[in-house]
Amino acid sequence: MVSASLGGPLIGFSGTVIPVPLTSVMYAQGITNKTSVFGSVHPTSLLFGVFQTDIGICQGLYYNDSLRIGFSVNPALNLAFDKWEKQFKCWPQLDVNMYWNIKPNKSFLYAGVENWFELAKYKAYGETQQKHWLINPQIGYSYVRKKWNYNLEIKYLVPNMANTPNVVDYKGIAGKGAIGVYINFTRKF
């Protein structure tokens, strides 16, 4: 399958609240009925001179046929290379998800936690990196059709971190993190 995603954290911009228009294009291939591999490219990052990709595996762990509830994990590596400063970054990621299939068309609701791990000792401008585990709870709905899937996801990005002071006016809860909104279109082959 091939999918395209648009969305990001909500920010204040010109007197309104909008999601940052981040984009990604992903390819995924099933290996078994419980295992798929995936890789993506982020066009928005490319526009600013940064090649960014994430590669990983979606692994089904458990599925209950009568309840139609399952659990999966997604270990991945997020990689970025900045052509201007010649810097490379790697963020390991581990997502843990629960999903509920809705009959008759296999659409599903899901909830989970995306876990990013910051390996660098320092942030931008030589500041010491205080947080090495970045938590992002998420909830979403996938509307599944024969050839197309449509997905809406909401994330609470880094709810354990203050979102001020910052260059961007992130919209979170009680001055923490940012709410993210994402839409995704998937074409199956």
In this model, does residue 104 exceed pLDDT 80?
no
- Give the tokens for residue 32: 């078994």
Q: State residue 37 phi and psi, 5-degree precision.
A: -115, 155
- Give the tokens for residue 184: 């995704």
Q: Are 96 and 113 in contact (CB under 8 A)?
A: yes
pLDDT digits (tens, 9 = 90+) for 134-188: 999 999 999 999 999 999 999 999 999 999 888 899 999 999 999 999 999 999 9
In this model, does residue 115 exceed pLDDT 80?
yes
pLDDT digits (tens, 9 = 90+) for 43-90: 999 999 999 999 999 999 999 999 999 999 999 999 999 999 999 999
pLDDT digits (tens, 9 = 90+) for 28-42: 999 999 999 999 999
Question: In sequence order, which residues have a C-beta less than 8 Å from that of residue 12 and are 6 or more positions away?
Answer: 169, 171
Burial of 34 (0-12, 13-18, 19+ CB in 10 A): middle
- pLDDT band of residue 125 (cuts 50, 70, 90) is confident
The predicted pLDDT at position 103 comes to 78
The predicted pLDDT at position 72 comes to 98
The predicted pLDDT at position 127 comes to 87
Instruction: Find, among 95, 63, 76, 94, the residue nearest to 37 by Cα.
Output: 76
In this model, does residue 124 exceed pLDDT 80?
no
| 50-64, 89-103, 124-138: least confidently modelled range | 124-138
Measured between alpha carbons, how far apart are the two ends of the chain, in Å?
6
In this model, does residue 108 exceed pLDDT 90?
yes
